[in-house]
């Protein structure tokens, strides 16, 4: 399985998309299908991307395909989050997020550590440098998950 893209909202989609592109080693560009939206591509340039919509936008099921509904700003936090492999070091991740004034810290999730970055202090990104990615891949297996929580397999 691979997640090819996901979408989030931000009060400044361009700024957030550029930040995400930087930590993924890629590039941010406007996203013309929806007004005032941006897309952050990863370094691999294999289609993996994050679409960033204004916090006034909501995706809805249109009559034939997805549509964009523009309404009031939704500044509330969200439970949805993403873990991203980064080309940056742990210290660079911390520095970049601190420069934005966003809450950021190194956290231990058990089988791996990550740098929690709260985009605009609202949307959680768990950013993993190369060592963290190695630990994540080694630790986040079905066998290890079952053992950690005492599930029978």
54-68, 97-111, 127-141: which range is least confident on average? 54-68
What percentage of the chain reaches a pLDDT higher than 90? 78
In angstroms, rounded to a whole number, what is the distance separating the alpha carbons of residues 80 and 8?
A: 9
Please, what is the end-to-end C-alpha distance for the chain in angstroms?
21
Q: Has this prediction a pTM greater than 0.85?
A: yes
Q: Is the pLDDT of residue 28 over 70?
A: yes
Encode pLDDT of 65-83 as tens digits.
Answer: 988 889 998 888 888 899 9
- pLDDT at 29 (0 to 100): 97
**What per-residue confidence (pLDDT) applies to 59?**
86
Long-range contacts of 92-100 (CB under 8 A, 24+ apart): 93/23, 93/117, 93/127, 93/129, 96/19, 96/22, 96/23, 97/19, 100/15, 100/19
Mean of pLDDT values over 20-46: 94
Mean pLDDT over 16-45 rounds to 94
For residue 118, the model assigns a pLDDT of 96
Query: Which pLDDT band, with edges at 50, 70 and 90, does 1 fall under?
Result: low
In this predicted structure, the answer to whether residue 18 has a pLDDT above a threshold of 70 is: yes
For the residues 11-21, what does the mean pLDDT come to? 97
Residue 24 binned pLDDT confidence (cut-offs 50, 70, 90): very high
Whether residue 3 has pLDDT greater than 70: yes
């Amino acid at each position: 399985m691979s997640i090819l893209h996901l979408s989030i909202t931000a009060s400044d989609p361009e700024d957030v998309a550029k930040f995400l592109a930087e930590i993924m080693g890629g590039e941010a560009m406007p996203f013309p299908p929806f007004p005032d939206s941006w897309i952050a591509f990863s370094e691999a340039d294999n289609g993996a991307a994050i679409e960033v919509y204004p916090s006034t936008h909501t995706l809805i099921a249109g009559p034939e395909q997805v549509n964009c509904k523009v309404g009031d700003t939704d500044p509330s936090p969200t439970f949805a989050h993403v873990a991203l492999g980064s080309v940056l070091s742990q210290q660079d991740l911390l520095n970049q997020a601190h420069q934005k004034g966003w809450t950021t810290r190194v956290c231990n999730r058990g089988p791996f550590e990550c740098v929690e970055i709260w985009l605009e202090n609202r949307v959680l990104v768990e950013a993993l440098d190369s060592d963290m990615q190695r630990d994540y891949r080694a630790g986040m297996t079905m066998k290890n998950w079952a053992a950690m929580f005492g599930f029978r397999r």
